[in-house]
């Protein structure tokens, strides 16, 4: 253990394991609070706070004689194993009470992150100063090189851990399986550290007994029900049958419903945004015998399925980032892959690399409740406008808080920089008890020929256009922002406030 290369290897492995836990934290929290800017900000802050506190304690422990310091290092790693192996149980135990008793969503995110992931980061932060101090003491003639090597090992370990978590572990093992692997790694490093200290016999036996708890705890998590039907590279995907009506299914991505389908009636655009997207597209194209559509985001593929059921000559192209979303839509939401051209790539990239023109472009992609930043800027709207045929329209789903409407105002103001006509449509039956409301922005070179229409599926439902003066007054507020690729404050505009 006192050999420099061994110390470097241990330091790099601990750093890698701790960053794997940080990445996994985002995936574990997603089914409860989503994957927003606030989630990742909280995770990074809590993990860094844990590392900092751990480094401080580790620095105090490093002042002990090397063998005692190594024993302390071993016990710290066993504690890291225990808190990592128990993270899933802890999250499921505290998530309900925290979400129920704390109203502000950002506070919920911070509290959940702190309760579950501070201690694993704290204990993982203890080894760095201990191992670095031992390296300097054991190699006094090259103290500077030894110290630099230890710092470099920590940085490289963190890099490799991040890459491994994102590209290998979570994709192949899922969040729970990844945590089990990290727990086993911590236990192995802990026992090695205890073994390296002199008089190791009794300590190793005690450590081995203590290691049983985190190993058993981590192992039993593999038997617990997974909240995700599929944990893809992008989402925790769930399929939920409507109670008492198994023919109606909800697609849940992370913690939000992203689509609803009815097996018996493909034309039943059950959520209000589906009704409006479908109805407005048909309304804008009602004088054409055939038309083409480009969909940004697939979700449960309700629109392509509905258009195919109508036997309309609609040439549909869908840009969906996640192949697993498409697969689940085919297996559980009755979507026929042959009815649409599906491209598994970012929509902006697809539109940039192809000069294909479309009659309708529909924007229905979300990260949490906000549209991805690169799909909401003046530059992107210009790209969409360039890909529209004359008389075509861009129809976009926008969610905003009713008490502010700052995001809606900024989206409309940005679109007005590009399109000749920008409209906002809404469902008049919005529940006043809901803080957020769904709007549909329609942009093109001509207005929609009517100011209201009735969608017949699954039952008659009216959709109305918001008055032009109301939209002008909304856009004229001081809080309105024209969003560009250099400045897209959508997270701030959408962020919950007390």
Residues 6+ away with beta carbon under 8 Å from 371: 363, 365, 396, 397, 398, 411, 490
Reported as a single tens digit per residue, the pLDDT across 440-494 is: 999 999 999 999 999 877 778 899 999 999 999 999 999 999 999 999 998 888 8
Is pLDDT at 208 greater than 80 in this prediction? Answer: no
Reported as a single tens digit per residue, the pLDDT across 218-239 is: 888 878 888 889 988 888 999 9
pLDDT score for 52: 97
Contact 367, 347 (CB under 8 A): no
What mean pLDDT is predicted for residues 256-269? 88
> How far is Cα of residue 28 from the mean position of the Cα atoms in its chain?
10
pLDDT score for 455: 86
Is pLDDT at 86 greater than 70 in this prediction? Answer: yes
**Given strand 461-465, what is the order of strands in its sheet?**
341-343, 314-319, 291-296, 358-363, 388-401, 436-444, 421-426, 461-465, 452-455
Radius of gyration of the chain from Cα atoms? 27
Reported as a single tens digit per residue, the pLDDT across 163-182 is: 999 888 888 888 999 999 99
Is pLDDT at 210 greater than 90 in this prediction? Answer: no
Is pLDDT at 356 greater than 60 in this prediction? Answer: yes
Cα–Cα dist 443/387, whole Å: 13
Contact 285, 360 (CB under 8 A): yes
- pLDDT band for 246, please (50, 70, 90 cuts): low
Local structure of 370: helix, strand or coil: strand
Is pLDDT at 116 greater than 90 in this prediction? Answer: yes
**Given strand 256-262, what is the order of strands in its sheet?**
230-231, 236-242, 245-253, 256-262
Q: What is the mean pLDDT of the chain?
A: 90
* Orientation angle between helical segments 170-196 and 4-33, nearest 10 degrees: 140
Cβ neighbourhood burial of 335 (10 Å; 0-12, 13-18, 19+): buried
Cα–Cα dist 277/413, whole Å: 20
What mean pLDDT is predicted for residues 143-161? 93
The values of phi and psi at residue 307, to 5°, are: -65, -35
- pLDDT band for 83, please (50, 70, 90 cuts): very high
pLDDT score for 498: 47
Cα–Cα dist 29/228, whole Å: 12
Residues 6+ away with beta carbon under 8 Å from 84: 21, 120, 179, 182, 183, 186, 214, 218
């Amino acid at each position: 253990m006192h050999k420099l290369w061994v110390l470097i290897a241990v330091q790099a492995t601990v750093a890698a394991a701790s960053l794997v836990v940080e990445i996994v934290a985002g995936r574990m929290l997603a089914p409860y609070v989503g994957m927003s800017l606030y989630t990742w900000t909280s995770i990074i802050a809590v993990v860094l706070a844990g590392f900092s506190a751990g480094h401080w304690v580790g620095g105090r422990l490093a002042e002990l004689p090397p063998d005692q310091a190594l024993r302390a290092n071993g016990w710290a790693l066993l504690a890291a194993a225990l808190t990592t192996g128990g993270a899933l149980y802890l999250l499921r135990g505290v998530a309900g009470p925290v979400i129920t008793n704390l109203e502000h969503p950002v506070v919920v995110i911070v509290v959940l992150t702190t309760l579950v992931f501070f201690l694993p980061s704290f204990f993982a932060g203890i080894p760095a100063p201990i191992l670095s101090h031992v390296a300097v003491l054991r190699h006094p003639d090259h103290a500077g090189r030894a110290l630099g090597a230890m710092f470099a090992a920590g940085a490289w370990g963190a890099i490799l851990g991040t890459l491994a978590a994102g590209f290998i572990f979570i994709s192949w093992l899922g969040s729970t399986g990844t945590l089990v692997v990290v727990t086993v790694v911590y236990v192995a490093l802990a026992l090695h550290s205890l073994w390296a200290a002199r008089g190791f016999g009794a300590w190793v036996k005690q450590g081995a007994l203590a290691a049983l708890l985190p190993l058993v705890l981590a192992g039993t998590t593999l038997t617990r029900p997974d909240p995700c039907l599929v944990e893809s590279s992008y989402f925790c995907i769930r399929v939920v049958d409507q109670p008492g009506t198994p023919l109606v299914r909800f697609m849940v991505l992370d913690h939000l419903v992203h689509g609803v389908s009815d097996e018996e009636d493909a034309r039943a655009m059950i959520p209000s945004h589906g009704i409006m997207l479908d109805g407005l597209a048909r309304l804008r194209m009602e004088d054409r015998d055939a038309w083409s559509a480009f969909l940004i985001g697939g979700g449960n593929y309700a629109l392509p399925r509905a258009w195919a059921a109508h036997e309309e000559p609609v040439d549909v192209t869908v840009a969906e980032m996640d192949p697993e979303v498409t697969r689940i839509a085919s297996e559980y939401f009755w979507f026929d892959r042959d009815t649409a051209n599906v491209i598994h790539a970012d929509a902006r990239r697809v539109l940039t690399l192809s000069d294909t023109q479309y009659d309708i472009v529909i924007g229905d992609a979300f990260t949490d409740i906000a549209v991805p930043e690169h799909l909401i800027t003046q530059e992107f709207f210009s790209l969409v406008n360039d890909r529209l045929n004359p008389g075509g329209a861009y129809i976009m789903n926008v969610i905003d808080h009713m008490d502010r409407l700052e995001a809606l105002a900024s989206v409309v103001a940005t679109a007005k920089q590009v399109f000749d006509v920008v409209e906002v449509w809404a469902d008049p039956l919005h529940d006043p008890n809901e803080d957020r409301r769904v709007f549909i922005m329609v942009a093109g070179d001509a207005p929609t020929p009517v100011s209201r229409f009735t969608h017949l599926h699954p039952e008659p439902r009216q959709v109305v256009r918001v008055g032009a003066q109301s939209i002008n007054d909304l856009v004229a507020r001081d809080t309105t922002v024209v969003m560009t690729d250099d400045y897209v404050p959508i997270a701030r505009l959408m962020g919950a406030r007390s």
